[in-house]
Amino acid sequence: MLGLIHDLMQLSLGNPLLLIGAAFQIWMLVDAVRREEWIWAACILFFSVFSAVFYYFMVYRMHGPSAGGLGLRGFELPGAADRRRIKELEARIHHLDKARDHSDLADLYFSQGKLAKAEASYRRALERDADDDDTLSHLGQCLLRQGRAAEAKPLLEKVLSADTRHDFGYTLMALAEAQTALGEVDAALLNWKRVLEHNSYPRARVQYAELLASRGLVDEAQAEIDEVLADQNHSLAFEKKRNAVWIRRARKLESRL
């Protein structure tokens, strides 16, 4: 404290170096408090700017700006985390060539919309482990998103033959979507109903309502839409954002009923 007060008093003399030193000392003090580095905080507070310099090299730089640097806290370039993870997985694949790493890399590509790359990585994963249900399911969903429902369907069915609730119902939803795309409406209706027995995903409820409406079952379709919109009013902000596409489809369907 005395060292910091001394520096601040000297500022009145107009020395710019002391001004910079005091500012740096306060910056490191705040960072130490936010990291709960109490001993360091005490040293920076009660002693001179040299304590702040030691802290900068021994703690702040060792942990990196993303761990607590005030200028970058909460900020990251778009996609930076994905790029780091991709590099990490590529390195692991180079050295270990494990199926799980190929599958994880494929999931990242899938999430980025790079479906051709995702498909290639899923297939490499299956070359190393042909029976991994997660990889089979995700490859099926990747093919479905590329408009290849006929190729996706047997993969999804294979996974569901062993676990009807695989991946919290997402695999069954994908199968229902594949069946809808292939014109197998009765089978799709049955599978949407099975999904909704255990889950209340707007993705499932809206597409189920759309198929009901296509069959002229207007009251049943309206009931499903009412439930989607009612749930939306009580959803958290991140859920509303995630489900926005399904809410738009629900309202569009409602306007046609």
Q: What are the structure tokens assigned to 172, written together? A: 């069954």
| Structural domain contains residue 132 | no
| Structural domain contains residue 124 | no
Residue 4 has pLDDT above 60, yes or no: no
Domain boundary residue, one of 13, 33, 67: 67
Q: What is the pLDDT of residues 109-122, one digit of tens each?
A: 998 889 999 999 99
As for how many domains the chain has, the answer is 2
Domain residue limits at 238: 200-257
Q: What is the pLDDT of residues 12-41, one digit of tens each?
A: 455 666 667 778 888 888 888 876 677 888
Domain boundary residue, one of 14, 47, 67: 67
| Structural domain contains residue 116 | no
The overall pTM is greater than 0.75: no
Q: What is the pLDDT of residue 69?
A: 39
Cα angle, residue 139 at apex, residues 135 and 142 outer, rounded to 5°: 140
* Torsion angle (degrees, nearest 10) of CA 146, 149, 150, 154: 110
Domain boundary residue, one of 24, 40, 67: 67
In this prediction, residue 10 has a pLDDT band, given cuts at 50, 70 and 90, of: low
| Structural domain contains residue 248 | yes
Exposed/middle/buried for residue 222 (C-beta within 10 Å: 0-12, 13-18, 19+)? middle
Q: What are the structure tokens assigned to 56, written together? A: 């900068």
Q: Which helix (H) or strand (E) holds 239?
A: helix 237-242
Mean pLDDT of 191-208: 95
Q: What is the pLDDT of residues 53-93, one digit of tens each?
A: 888 776 666 554 433 333 434 444 455 568 889 999 999 99
| Structural domain contains residue 165 | no
Distance CA 111, CA 193 (A): 27
| Structural domain contains residue 78 | no
| Structural domain contains residue 170 | no
Distance CA 252, CA 173 (A): 21
In this prediction, residue 179 has a pLDDT band, given cuts at 50, 70 and 90, of: very high
| Structural domain contains residue 163 | no
